[in-house]
Amino acid sequence: MEFEKLADTLKALADPTRLKIISLLRTRDCCVCELVPIFNISQPAISKHLSRLKTAELVHETRKGQWVFYSLNEKKLEETGFALNHLPDLSEKLKELEKQGLLVRCE
Amino acid sequence: MEFEKLADTLKALADPTRLKIISLLRTRDCCVCELVPIFNISQPAISKHLSRLKTAELVHETRKGQWVFYSLNEKKLEETGFALNHLPDLSEKLKELEKQGLLVRCE
DNA sequence: TAGTTATATAACCATATTGTTATTTATAAT
DNA sequence: ATTATAAATAACAATATGGTTATATAACTA
């Protein structure tokens, strides 16, 4: 389960446009119409990228009048970087293999 | 460019099977035939996952007789986690928008 | 040399991703 | 009420992803 969830979050991050959006949100909360002129893609494309980030809980949205402002969830971003270097331990699987004599012995 | 490269590395990481492989390699170098019985997918599927990780420089391969052993590139993994929290700065883009009067002023 | 084991590659398929344009919904302004 | 602006959703297309089975290649074994 843990691996699936982390993989989902990493998928949300694994796109240059979304990484750039995250970098921009680090500077300042932004609404969709501010992000659109920065990228060479359409408004719906930006909107979908933000929606993907929101589903992954990497950003938070707040409506202010006719605008929707997006802000970065820095905690989630930090957690993800941390998780990469602290993956759940699967050494049990290797111990099981060893019991079954399935580990390769060379040299 | 930087964003594209990071996105590529994250794509290589953004899969539960590959994350599990990385966790296993943290314990011990493994060859393909050891990994296969741990997962419910075919040998070619495992082989392709390893190939993907190798292209991203997240693992290194060494042939030992008839086996090919894969080892984790811990440095690359650490760098990636670090990069997530130190994305290149794009605040210039927002400054440009400001000059053009394209930033939204509400409240 | 022939057979076996380990791994990689090829060809293929179903689904996901990422973009597009057109349209809808929500809010603000005239 | 009508019009304009911001953002989301729908429908679609091209490409990427992740699996399969069949086959090729590499190295060991008898």
- Averages of pLDDT over each 10 residues, chain A, 107 residues: 94 98 97 96 98 98 96 97 96 92 68
Q: Where are the beta strands (DSSP E) in B6-75?
A: 30-31, 59-64, 67-72
Nearest to A71 by CA among A27, A34, A32, A29: A29
- Determine contact, residues A95/A58, Cβ cutoff 8 Å: no
Closest CA-bearing residue to C1' of D25: B66
**A residues 17-56 lying closer than 8 A (beta carbon) to B:** 19-20, 22-24, 26-28, 30-31, 33-34, 37-38
**Which segment of A62-66, A87-91, B1-5, B92-96 scores lowest on mean pLDDT?**
B1-5
Could you tell me the domains of chain B? 2-99 (1.10.10.10)
Whether the beta carbon of B105 falls within 7 A of nucleic chain D: the reply is: no
CA distance B98 to A32: 15
pLDDT given for residue A100 in this prediction: 85
pLDDT given for residue A105 in this prediction: 65
**R_g (Cα) of chain B, nearest Å:** 20
Percent of chain A with pLDDT over 90: 89
Average pLDDT over residues B54-72: 97
Q: Is A6 left (phi over 0), alpha (psi -120 to 50) or beta?
A: alpha
pLDDT given for residue A107 in this prediction: 46
Average pLDDT over residues B36-42: 96
B58 CA, D7 C1': separation in Å? Answer: 39
Which nucleotides on strand D sit less than 7 A from a protein beta carbon? Answer: 5-11, 17-22, 26-28
